[in-house]
Chains A and B, each alone.
Chain A
Amino acid sequence: MVWLNAILQGVLVGGLYALFAAGLSLIFGVMRLVNIAHGDLIVLAAYVALTCVTLTGMNPLLAILVVAPLMALFGYALQKFIFNRTLGDDILPPLLVSFGLSVIIQNALLQVYTADSRKLNAGPIEVASVKLADGLSVGWMPLIMFVSAIVIIGALQFMFYSTPLGRALRATSDDQEMARLMGYNNRHLYSIAMAISLAIVAVAGIFLASRANFDPSIGPQRLIFGFEAVIIGGLGNLWGTLLGGIILGVAQAVGAMIDPGWQLLAGHIVFLIVLAVKPEGLFPRVDG
């Protein structure tokens, strides 16, 4: 039962990892940009939420309504004024600019909020849980987190395959030149994609902040978790990314059961095994 419990908790944490990954995967899919600052943007969103909650005293989960539009706006500007200038055939400029951005965000947070670890207090819901069986219960927060991940990924999937915006994004992703000939404004679309990505980052940041302690230095680790979920699940497959996140979460939970020092290592090892055995991921995209 202890093992079953660990696996169940791992699955739920996997939802959070899928949220880290969804924004990363979206950006890569649309403009082939790997945003190294992604993890630090998640932590930035967590701090924005913290400030918001301390100033107004609102519920952290409601803070999403404020933080998500703010981050989306920031994402739009970031893409418009910085990343759009770096896009081209050479992968080096966007990569290095996002790396520089990562260091800037990390140290700016350190300067403003110090290195003390913080936490968002979500109130009594944090400790509330549903009992499934003896020794097996599920907390409301992890459950909300997991359901949110499914809803967000479902919404992204719907947006991509059933709306005019999704069609435009897929068109620029498939063939930039042709999309422009068809009258799409690629740069504007990229900015919208980054705005959506950072709105998801805002949700991920708030869940991250209310789940455990955070400080300015933990961003890169979140980037790595998101990245591993994307690769395990298979590039370009959003539901695959969710499964990748779950696999990573379970691997970490099982690793932690064996030895606390093995929690992170187990996740990385599963990632490396997938890379060695099936580099296209476990659930690669099949449609054309």
Chain B
Amino acid sequence: MSREDAPVRSQSGARRKALTPLPRAWALFAALFVCATREAVASPEDIFSYGPRSPSMGGTGVSHSRDFEATYTNPALLSRMRDRTFTLGYASATFDLAATKADGTRETLIPYGPLKSSVIGLGLPLPFIGPLRNRIAFGMAFSTPINVIVRGRIVYPEKAQFPLLPDRAQTLAIRLGLGVDVGYGFRVGAGFAALAEIVGSVVVATDASGKVGSRVEDQLVATYAPTFGLSYERPLHDDRVLRVGAVFRGALDARFAIDIDASKLSSLPIPILNISGSAQYDPMQIALEAAVESPSSVFALGATYKQWSSYGGLLEPTIVCPPDECKALRPPVIGFRDIVVPRVGVEYRFEPHPHVATALRAGLAYEMSPLPGTLPASDAYSPTSNSLVRVRTAYFDSDRMVLTIGGGVALKRPLLPLKLDAFAQLHHLLPRTIEFESASSGRASGTVVAAGVMAGVSF
């Protein structure tokens, strides 16, 4: 077992009590420092969780993470790290989603490709001495799809789609966090999640010579969301520890917003087009979790609250004007629901060799769908009838039962201090009927399979 695997032994009991609790100002400084560094998170973690252990333990980790994955699960637990680690990994997911009409025929979904992403993680305990020794650590988690940083697909609502699942995973995820062991069993941590969003303008005009002149300006701007974590641990009898963790993750909303101004192209009055929408969205979350941890096992139980009710939906109006002053089309208003995701995870550790530590992991989570059961219709212009028509908002989604398994092998010095971890996830979308205004109902179902491997080295 590597040093970081030791639960809390070095700081338990009398020795920990002997340490002076850190002043509140230090904790505040740490939180402000992490805020100032401004880093990132996004949806792949929200769907699959993140790191070598959490994805194989039902997405738990708020109370038991102990390496760079804590930048997502709970930055307070970064302070559990003892070794500098550098991790590389690869993860993949396939989406086998089905939407059927009321008569049983299958809908034609917009195409969803697999997710293939690379992972980089850095764990860095800061080598202070004296009262700060082994108390402060910094973590960075970086995950990006192989070819795409952010996927922004906002399609017409009448096209059958799962708007909350596959494309949300196609995005870069960067997190930076700092965890501090403040003593008396308390740890605090903070971090930032960031994502890039696109804002820009395209101005097209024809000059006197008949040449189309254009000015295209496109900016990536960073959008940030904070993460704060807290944990408290106390020893139980024998060598077990009870740890309770809580984490707050701010909402992260990455928009796509391009104005197209072709009004100077001719004397034909063309409105300025607001091509905007929500490319990626992670709701505000609060997670609570408790874990009982011993040198040979971890059992974690928790729940995550996700405030989807603040989500405004994917679409924004193409013509921007106050509702009572014009007849421009408006996208449907969908009342997304807040949800609670219960999770449970276990880990069993054993050492087949004095220099080799292994672990087996499993977990379960149940993620309710934030999509309401009845969806309003959308307005569209029909060129055939030359009039406005009502079309269904063909969004599909359903509750997911998530089964996870995984394992890991860690070599210890004098061997090369290498860790290998792997996970697999099966997301089963429970069949669900969705009622559409202005159309017959539809049914959503499917499976998502995800897997990943990671290799980390201590140095």
Answer yes or no: do A and B interact. Answer: no
List chain A positions with a Cβ less than 8 A from chain B. none
